[in-house]
Structure 1
Amino acid sequence: MLMTHCKKITAISLSLLFLSANATPLDDLLEQVKKSNNIETNIDTKALTEFKNDLKTQQANLKKQRDRNKALQQKMTRSQDNIAINNKKIATQQQVANTEKADLDKVFDEFKRASQDLSGQLKKSPISASLTGRSARLSPYSEADFEPDLTAIKTLWLLFTEQMVATSKITTVEQTVTMADGNKAVLTVTNIAGFSAFSPEGALLYKPASETYQLLTPKSADIDARIEAFEQVDNGFISLLIDPTSGALLERSTHTPAWWKVFSDAGIVGGIIVVVGVLGIVIALLRFLLLTKESKLIHIQKQQLTKIGDNSLGRIISVADQHANSNAEELMRFLDEAVLGEIPEFRKGLGTLAVLATVAPLLGLLGTVAGMIETFHAITAYGNSDPQVLSSGISQALLTTKFGLIAAVPLLLCHSFLSSKSDSILNVIEHQTAGLLAQRQQSLTNRSEL
């Protein structure tokens, strides 16, 4: 608008210059100025009107914008409130979700543990001989990345129920059995609640690796009699042959090792312990016989002091007779020497018994340690996949400890008994020696008075 006024003023000035240059009369000039002024006034009025109208429009727009901003501000405040409320709800739901996830993780862990336990039971259960493939169905459930669903849980529950029901029944079915010569044959197998099984041919051993039965040989008359008793009812009762180890005990009973096999399993250390025990028992027996004989001779000598016999008390009396003319002090010294000379004879062999009783359990411990070392070497070399091999090695290693204790206990008792017996004999000798000394002193006193 300022540019417009400048242009108009420039036009008027040019007009005035033009009129003055052309010598236009002043009235005409004035009239032209008025016209120009009116035109400018109209233009300015129109512009002012347009400006005012535009100002009102802008003010209305500003008001609308302010109202809109206010509405948006209120909406934003409500949204922030809603966000805060939603955040609290999210936090609460997150806690609930975390709790439920933790509970679900526990359920999954228990599911995997239960599936592993059941898989181990099914592998060892003789029932799997007729219900094959059950452990294979459980094998995926034990994997670390497996997430159980409802179908898996139902399958596990079904297998648990099936195993529980099967272990409460006695079933008789036709099954393939491995015979003694390694060939396969179909036999009538009676399974007793998943514990043991037998057929008319004899008792059966369950093999978890192949999920089949193997006929036990050689047969045992006692086992055969028990199998036959299954068909006989006695006052409403039936005799059952139950082996909780699925045939392992039956197999052991049919293969009873010879008595000397125990000593061979104990090894060299076990043989040494046996020698130590036998040597100790022989020494104890000899010492017992000698002490018993000496005790009887001393008892007889006590009754016949005038008749000197070949025993410790008789030898002491003989020393007293040899020094009958000695004074009391000399006689006491001679008698003490005689008593001290008899003590080693009574103590002979007791020290050896004590040493043997101490050495026997130490040798047993040595054999056990050596056996355990060999067992662990075998585990390192071949692994521990077969628990039966591991338990067998440990059992053989503990045999030497058993032998050591068996040898040590009677040797300790014998040592204690013989020590007590020798002490009692020495007490008798000491009492008799003291009485003999008192008697001789009394005789010397009477002789001096005469």
Structure 2
Amino acid sequence: MIAATSRIASGALALALLLASLSSLAATPPPANGLDKLVEQIRDGSREMSKTNAEREARFLRDKTQQAALLAQAEAARNAADARAKAAKARFDGAQAGIAALKQQLSGRVGDSAQIFSAVAEAAGAFRAQAGDSLVTPQFPDRIAELDALAQARELPGVDQIEQLWLAYAQEIAEGGKVARFDAQVFDDQGSPQQQQVTRIGLFTAFADGRYLALQPDTGKLAALARQPGHTGLIDDFGRGDEPLATILIDPSRGALLRRSAERPTLGERIDQGGEVGYVIIAIGILGGVLAIYQLVYLLRVDRQVRQQLRQIEQPRLDNPLGRVLASIAPQGASDALLLQDPEVLETRLSEAILRETPKLERYQSLLKMIVAAGPLLGLLGTVVGMIMTFQVITELGAGDPKVMAGGISQAMVATVLGLIIAIPLLFANSFLGSRSRALTQVLDEQAAGLLARHLEANSKAQSSAAGAR
């Protein structure tokens, strides 16, 4: 079909050339032999075109033969690949069937061994987690690798491996009732390991070099607590003791309680949590306490002196209020003696002397009352400031983590506690000082009234005697 198309195209081209030649001849009268040359040219062009078309047809046929050969090769390769794929699938299906048969045969032969394997692996995994937090592990560190091998095994365990797991359980139980000493690496506060002799009390407590130890969560290594709990002196007593029984701290939580106890803030840290308001409360409380103690010592000394003066009422001394009150009515001359015969003058002298002594006896009580009232108010102020800080933190960081709010809440609570701590003792101290000062003032009033009565009685007897003499 392609050859026929080529022939038609070449014929059409020849016809076009012929028509063009004829038109040019018609337009320009050719010479006599011009037609022969034109015919010869047309023939030469036709032969050249035929030759070109023949070469094209030959080249096309040659390419077509090559394409057919390539197609045949590709089809042969595809058929060979299909044959190999079918053979491989047949072998795969046969192998799968063989594997299923072998699995069924293995399952029948294993029987209860699979359950034993599962139980051993599960028990080893559970005990591995327990051993990682046990104080026995630093003494026997190799057992961790053994338990990992049992927990991650992909084969049925042998009798030796099962006995190994049983011995690990027995070892843990036995060591729980022992006090053991062994050498192990202990990490200090800077994270540097040091070889030290460790004393382990069962499964509960371990210490070395006078410091309590705890297991690091990630590594399972022993590390000294950054902050030691109280009663560290028991460690030295325990090491020096020759008695079969000794006192030592026991942590049944395997270190958790010791860490929590060590993390508790000290008294200074608690006070520091109160902030500036807390320090103001403490300063006021110290001032009130000093004044209360000073006045208490003064009143006790005055009470002792007044009791001594009561035993020598006729010999007033000026080192105590009662003596000074009694001495206030001693006549300073003849005119003064005549004045003191007047009961009103005598009563006025005694009242003046008592009023002069009363301020010293009631000294600082008003100030202490103010401090007692101001302590809880300052505590309330600290509480408000702490809550403001807490709400500010919540606004900035949210309420997801309670630790971020601990600072403000601590300040609020500590300030309240400090205010109550200074108010309650000072309230009792002020009440005691008030009762002591009132008791002394009452003694002065009683003695002044008695002195006035005796003086009036003496004057009455003197007047009666003078009237009888007349």
TM-score, with structure 1 as normaliser: 0.49
TM-score, with structure 2 as normaliser: 0.47
